[in-house]
Amino acid sequence: MNELLRLWKLFQPYRHWMLFGTIAAILTLLANVTLMAASGWFLTAMAAAGLAGVSMNYFTPAAMIRGSAMLRTVGRYGERLVNHEATFRLIASLRVWFYQHLEPLAPARLQQYHSGDLLSRIRADIDALDNLYVRVLVPVVVANVSILLFTLFLLLYHPFLALSGLTFLVIAGVGLPIWSQARGARPGQRIAEDEGALRAAVIDGVQGMAELTLYGATERQAQRVDALSRRMIADQTRLSSDHGLTQAAVGLCASLSLWVLLWLAIPMVNDGRLLPPQLAMLALFTLASFEAVAPLPHAFQLLGRSLAAARRLFSIVDTQPAVPEPTGLSPRPAHFDIEFADVGFSYPDAPRPAVTDIRLRVAEGSRAAVIGATGSGKSTLFNLLLRFWAPDSGTIRIGGHDILDFHGDDLRRHIAVVSQHTHLFDTTIRENLLIANPEASQGAIEAACRVAQIHDFIAELPEGYDTWVGETGVRMSGGQGRRIAVARALLKDAPILLLDEPTEGLDAATERDLMRALDKLMVGRTVLLITHRPAGLDWVDQVLVLDQGRELARGDTSVIPAAMQATLLPLRPRIESA
């Protein structure tokens, strides 16, 4: 019930649409029942009048029948129009709502989730919630209102007729939905979970196809996908089978209700309490009235799937960000020096601290490098500085202000990042560049790309800056992607620049070209470089050497330990010749 209350609060901005859609559905149902009942009465009355050789006013019932038919047609169209509009607006709103709650959790709190699972939540789970409105809320309201009106109508003729009709309507509209919900709860939950697992397995299989092929594991991956698919099909088959049974049961209730009504009403016709046309009207009225409860068993079967989807969404929405936002306004630093003061941090469930008692001050406009082997804590410092995690001890300051006093977006406006894992979106080069500055002119874009030494390459492409880069920039080489990232950082024009292994994985020539571009990018900015390569170390003012999260040495390049110096020196001539 808690999930239903929370979802109802999310639905409230669209309550007017929902109200209009529900009213249209009620009017459509009443028009259809009236059409059936009036037609039965009219045809029987006309036949009786013909046999008796008397005249009757057929204009009024004929008008009622035509009006009901027209209202049913218009109401059906209006119901579909309004309910679909409400549903589309609701789904769009829910996706934005979910993404807004997802964004503050990245990257720290989302590391435990597979991208395929998140995709399933933002697409399939939110799509499942439209069932709650269109196929649960609307049918339930329509059924309750209609059952009340139908019972009152039968009560006008005889209490026993009303009681018999109400009994079978309650069996079909309450008993069957309860049974259907109980049967559908577990399969619905499994389908929600398996959809996420299946998407994750398919994405893993596609993205890792080369590795799976090399190691002969494609068959195992295919079997995993097949097992998940079969389990989903089994649950869907069970739900479909139950749906068929409940629809047959609703039909049986309608037939039994008609039989009981005839059993009670025929004696009333014989003793004159009911006229023959009224008997025909009540018979067709009884059959048509079950249209009100026919959708309910399937609606409550879908309720399990919808509630499971809601729980999956709320489990993420209720997750607290790793770094809470401050309540006040963000500081406005007058200068942009960086200071780490006795900073310590441990990742959740990690066997040892990632960094311990780190001290480093980078003056405004100067350059510092953090070097060390893989796992020494270099990237952790960046994650802390970008406010993705909060330090367990010590403070990090920018311009003299604790970064925890900044709102995340405000802090990151002052920082540009060039990473070894440059992400290019599946769009054009221009759109990838405009992420940093949506208002940048074409001249500014080209100027940034010239500094990054990528403009000439782009200009030679047939579509120039409108060239599609492909998913994750697959149509660009590693060096080209990094230089696009450099141009993107230039367009952002932030006073602080973070370089995270910017030359990792590049050949010597590409590394040399990229470092020339980075040298121009670093001018006038406070720069922090993390690397375990020599590229760029000749251009920094100070070096911090880390070993297993602890400071090993700090100063200029002469403080680099002999063992690490021996590792870096063989590549130094390449940098000096550049």
Residue 344: the pLDDT is 94
pLDDT digits (tens, 9 = 90+) for 173-192: 999 999 998 888 888 888 88
45-58: average pLDDT: 79
On the 0-12 / 13-18 / 19+ scale of CB atoms within 10 A, 129 is buried
H/E stretch holding 398: strand 393-398
Give the closest residue to 206 by CA, choosing from 119, 107, 121.
119
Average pLDDT over residues 144-169: 93
Q: How many CB atoms lie within 10 A of CB 71?
A: 18
Choose between 564 and 248: higher pLDDT: 248
Give the Cα separation of 108 and 318 in Å (integer).
15
* 262, 40 Cβ separation under 8 angstroms: no
DSSP-derived letter for residue 326 is P
Segment 395-415, tens digit of pLDDT = 999 999 999 999 988 998 999
Q: Is the preceding peptide bond at 107 cis, omega within 30 degrees of 0?
A: yes
566/184 Cα distance (integer angstroms): 66
- Confirm if 161 and 261 have CB atoms less than 8 A apart: yes
Q: pLDDT confidence of 578, banded at 50, 70, 90? A: very low
With contact defined as beta carbons under 8 Å apart, do 431 and 425 qualify? yes
Residue 569: band (very low, low, confident or very high) from pLDDT cuts 50, 70, 90? very low
Q: Specify the DSSP element, H or E, that contains 5.
A: helix 2-11
| Banded model confidence at residue 325, pLDDT cuts 50, 70, 90 | confident
| Distance from the first to the final alpha carbon of the chain | 67
The C-alpha torsion from 395 through 398 and 400 to 403, rounded to 10°, is -50
Q: Is the pLDDT of residue 493 over 80?
A: yes
Whether the predicted pLDDT of 441 surpasses 80: yes
pLDDT exceeds cutoff 80 at 507: no
pTM of the model as a whole: 0.76
The gap from C-alpha 369 to its chain's centroid, in whole angstroms, comes to: 39
- Write out pLDDT tens, residues 93-135: 888 898 888 888 888 888 777 777 787 788 878 888 877 888 8
Give CA separation, 369 vs 74, 353, 373, 560, in Å. Answer: 72, 21, 13, 11
pLDDT over threshold 80, residue 518: no
Q: Is residue 536 predicted with pLDDT exceeding 70?
A: no
493: Cβ contacts below 8 Å, ≥ 6 apart: 416, 437
Q: Phi and psi dihedrals of 369, rounded to 5?
A: -125, 140
* pLDDT at residue number 564: 54
Report all structural domains of the chain as residue ranges with CATH numbers, in order of start.
2-317 (1.20.1560.10), 338-577 (3.40.50.300)
What the block records as the tokens of 259 is 């039989």
From the number of C-beta atoms within 10 Å of its C-beta (0-12, 13-18, 19+), residue 367 rates as buried
Is the dihedral angle over the CA atoms 474, 475, 480, 483 positive or is it negative? negative
Q: Is pLDDT at 67 greater than 80 in this prediction? A: yes
Write the burial class of residue 33 (CB in 10 Å: 0-12 exposed, 13-18 middle, 19+ buried). buried
Look at the alpha carbons of 258, 259, 263, 264 in this order and tell me if their dihedral is positive or negative: negative
Nearest C-alpha neighbor of 521 from the set 367, 403, 371, 380: 367
Predicted local distance difference test score (pLDDT) of residue 505: 66
Maximum CA extent, the chain: 120
pLDDT at site 171: 95
